[in-house]
Chain A
Amino acid sequence: MRFGLTEDQGLFGRSLRGFLADRLPLDTLRRLAESGTGFDAELWRGLGELGLHGLLVPEEHGGAGLGMLDAALAAEALGYHAAPAPFAAALVMAVQAFRSAGDAEQQRQWLPRVAAGQARIGLGFAGLAGQTGRAALRLEGGRLSGALDGLMDGGEATHFLAYLADGRAALIEAGAPGVTATLRRSVDRTRALVDLDLAGAAPVALLQSSNDPLAAARRVRDAGRVMLAADTLGAAQNMLDRAVAYANERMQFGRVIGSFQGVKYMCADMATMLEPCRAMVWYAAYAQDAVPEEAAMVASHAKAHLAEVGREVARLATEVHGGMGFTDLLGLHHQFKRITFDRQALGGPERCRHDAAVAQGWIAA
């Protein structure tokens, strides 16, 4: 009976952060962010060696069979270091999609490939999660046509999982006939968006085994929202840590600036906002596996609240750095943009709070 991380989870988070700190010094991050694809083969391989690809994949399908809280810790570490690596969609939402709406054969066929790092699945939700952009897909005679904008983890993806308005999801191979995937570099150069135009593309799998496809789709959405909340937690913590370190070293008027209450209070405000978010993200992640009656509500609330706190921390931490924070020299903007991205993807805070109201029966859907 405890509210906290296990020793293993603490160790996992620390070792992943250690790995990323080692692999992503600023000059490397700057180079990797140049392309804007949100992918680097070497980093992807390294993360696979740490077990990230199959983190949520059940052991029988070659994964580690861990839970959503472990995944949230990974997302937090990736956000902390602004790692250009597919994760929320490719390794969490896609796995959740197969588990909640894929049949046994589809799971047997695809989950081991995800766990092996061979299938990297970009995923698009559009209207179901409140993303803006085109979302008009038709499935006719087994062929998929139309347009879907803003797929996550789509840069260098091997497949795309495109959600239909009714909650079913079609898995499409990148580069198959009738599939045009346009990479759109986002303001966050560590994660791309892909716009999909389909003209009679043939899905390689149709995930439709759930009795309630929309509910299954919402569970996938909620898992994604928790991951984006965790990503923001990490990115914002990074910015706070760096602001505190800078305030402890930068001298003006013969004093370190952190001894001025004006600067100290900005740091204290950031810490006060951010610290409770940690437990909130833990609980939201844990609830996805263990508290089904609250899962939807807390996922949307975590996403919305972290978006609000993240925005404040992003501004304040940049401000503490003064002009340096505004430059590219310190690279603080990678985390700033990470937070910017997390806020809009899978629905902004107003939409998430609306979904939280629906989830607790305050209003009709």
Chain B
Amino acid sequence: MDLTLTPKHRALRDEVDAFIAAHRDAAPRPGGGRKRPDRKALDWQALLLEHGYFARTIPREYGGFGAPHDVIELAIIADAFSRASISPGIHNQGISMLVPTLLEVGTEEQKRRWIGPTIRGEVIWCQGYSEPGSGSDLAAAQTRAAVEDGHFVINGQKIWTSSAHFADMMFLLCRTEPDKAKHAGLSYLLLPMNAPGIEVRPLRTMTGRAEFNETFFTDVRVPVDQIVMGRGDGWHVANVTLKYERMLLGDPNKLQQRLEAIRRMMEQPGADGARLLDRAEWRDRLLRLQGEVIAARNHNMRLLTETAEGVDSGLGRFIVKYHGTMLAHRLASLALDVMGSTGLLYEPQGEVAEDDPATTWQIDYMYDIGLIIGGGSSNIQKNIIGERGLGLPREPKAAVPAGRN
């Protein structure tokens, strides 16, 4: 354990604090990722990239800052933005899931072509994974891609496609080798959302907004080189992406941001002039969650170190999504309780404007349920933790109902 701040680290901390003080007015509200970044968000992203506060360790030739991997530096930066409640940049599926996937298994050409525009927030990606008949059982995907004169020709349907209504590109899991076994018949394709034959139908959720979509494919043609790894490697690539998705969904910096925001609310005097932070029963609820957030952040530091040292964290990594999404929902729950009846006011602004705090918390509180279910539901996570993390046996296959196969 060596977390000593070198003079270089202290300088970085001062530098980030000074940056935030100088530029905080230019920052969009934290959160987002559920809308296409606006001009303000894109400018802020550019500023963060220029200073190395975003994509810090991604090589320069791919559009990153090219700094060597240093967990303390990353922690210093994340901490400074959390403390100041300032947006740490755009976190969307392209940036947090596809980019690390390409860095891990993409070709040189794919890295050069896609990573830069994606981390700048210019190219928005959506994920074509779930289908009406394959949700938790992702490998059962039936969307077909047959090869014809140098193209994959895609037919089928995806569901729960977040951001598909404004995304530029999709990473798609589909069946290219129908003769091979379930897991071995899949491929991972990259395709533009404006390709002819793609139809996106918004799916309104409990938040009243359409964060998700159904996406239909009719003879959509994609050049055969728009594939990550090879034909039949889709399940492997999809799992690389899922690994990063689950880390994103359990992001402890988001938890810290929420905790800070709730503390600030509790420090404001209420209508009776009293602060909730001074009332033991409220304070203890906040403190209980703070303890859990500290554990999550310490755990994340451990995982970052293990990743940097090439150690597979196994169990330590498998728990992150389940742990983080449940904790995030409990934080949103406390926020609603703190706001009380004034927090019931709900006026979502849709794609155009920023939501007020009460609406944002209500959306988070509901959207969190979506995150608990998506990216592999909590039950799927518990299967993974139990089977791959702890070595417990798999559930035996149940008999299939009559008339099905």
What is A's interface to B at a CB cutoff of 8 Å?
Answer: 1-6, 69, 244, 247-248, 255-256, 258-261, 264-265, 267-269, 271-273, 275-280, 282-283, 286, 290-291, 298, 301-302, 304-305, 308, 350, 353-354, 356-357, 362-363
Cα–Cα, bound, A276→B316 (Å): 8
Cα–Cα, bound, A148→B179 (Å): 78
Given A272-B322, A305-B291, 19 further pairs, Cβ under 8 A = A1-B2, A4-B1, A4-B306, A6-B1, A247-B392, A255-B396, A259-B393, A261-B383, A264-B392, A265-B382, A272-B323, A273-B323, A275-B316, A276-B296, A279-B299, A279-B301, A298-B294, A305-B294, A354-B284
Cα–Cα, bound, A269→B291 (Å): 18
In the assembled complex, the CB of B81 is this many whole angstroms from the nearest CB of chain A, namely: 19
Contact B295 A363 (CB under 8 A): no
Q: How many residues in B have their beta carbons less than 8 Å from beta carbons of A?
A: 51
Contact A356 B382 (CB under 8 A): no
Cα–Cα, bound, A283→B298 (Å): 7
Picked from A2, A5, A247, A290, the residue with its CB within 8 Å of the CB of B71 is A2
- Tell me which residues across on chain A come within 8 A of B108, comparing CB atoms: none
Q: Mark B275-298, 1 if CB is under 8 A from A, else 0.
A: 001101001100110111011101
Cα–Cα, bound, A278→B294 (Å): 12
Q: Given A271-B315, A290-B3, A265–B299 Cβ distance below 8 Å?
A: no
Picked from B294, B299, B392, the residue with its CB within 8 Å of the CB of A258 is B392
- Tell me which residues across on chain B come within 8 A of A350, comparing CB atoms: 284
- Tell me which residues across on chain B come within 8 A of A255, comparing CB atoms: 393, 396
- Tell me which residues across on chain A come within 8 A of B263, comparing CB atoms: 362
In the assembled complex, the CB of B384 is this many whole angstroms from the nearest CB of chain A, namely: 8
What is B's interface to A at a CB cutoff of 8 Å?
Answer: 1-4, 6, 70-72, 263, 277-278, 280, 283-284, 287-288, 290-292, 294-296, 298-299, 301-302, 304-306, 308-309, 315-316, 319, 322-323, 379, 381-383, 385-387, 389-396
Cα–Cα, bound, A5→B394 (Å): 33
Majority secondary structure of chain B interface residues (helix, strand, loop or mixed):
helix
Residue on B nearest A291 in the bound complex, by CB: B3
Count of inter-chain pairs, beta carbons less than 8 A: 155
Picked from A6, A291, A305, the residue with its CB within 8 Å of the CB of B295 is A305
Contact B298 A282 (CB under 8 A): yes
Contact A1 B72 (CB under 8 A): yes
Majority secondary structure of chain A interface residues (helix, strand, loop or mixed):
helix
Contact B290 A356 (CB under 8 A): yes
Contact B294 A290 (CB under 8 A): no
Cα–Cα, bound, A301→B289 (Å): 10
Contact A264 B283 (CB under 8 A): no
- Tell me which residues across on chain A come within 8 A of B322, comparing CB atoms: 268, 272
7 A-B pairs with the lowest CB-CB distances in the bound complex, closest first: A276-B299, A279-B298, A264-B386, A353-B287, A3-B301, A305-B291, A268-B382
- Tell me which residues across on chain B come within 8 A of A354, comparing CB atoms: 280, 283-284, 287
- Tell me which residues across on chain A come within 8 A of B72, comparing CB atoms: 1
Q: Given A268-B389, A298-B294, A286–B1 Cβ distance below 8 Å?
A: yes
In the assembled complex, the CB of A347 is this many whole angstroms from the nearest CB of chain B, namely: 13
Picked from B304, B323, B383, the residue with its CB within 8 Å of the CB of A276 is B323
Contact A69 B1 (CB under 8 A): yes
